[in-house]
Amino acid sequence: MLEEYRGCGLPVALTDCVYQTLKSNYNCSRVESSWILDENEDSNSICQAICDEKYKEYVVYEKAIG
């Protein structure tokens, strides 16, 4: 996200809009936010604020081959 738009609530508004659309059009009651890196504190704080609990945690390993 561009620096001038950080902190304005846009990600929360977008997340809510998507959820409300899914809820009203497809009777969806749950959504999943996934593949957010641990160091992405902004996205993780949004998830912590609106989610009931952490469902899964993925770990990515890297190894040089050769």
The pLDDT assigned to 26 comes to 93
pLDDT digits (tens, 9 = 90+) for 4-51: 888 888 878 888 898 899 999 999 888 777 778 888 888 888 878 777
The pLDDT assigned to 40 comes to 84
* DSSP string for 2-58: -GGGTTSSHHHHHHHHHHHHHHHHH-----------TT-HHHHHHHHHH-SS-----
pTM over 0.85? The answer is no
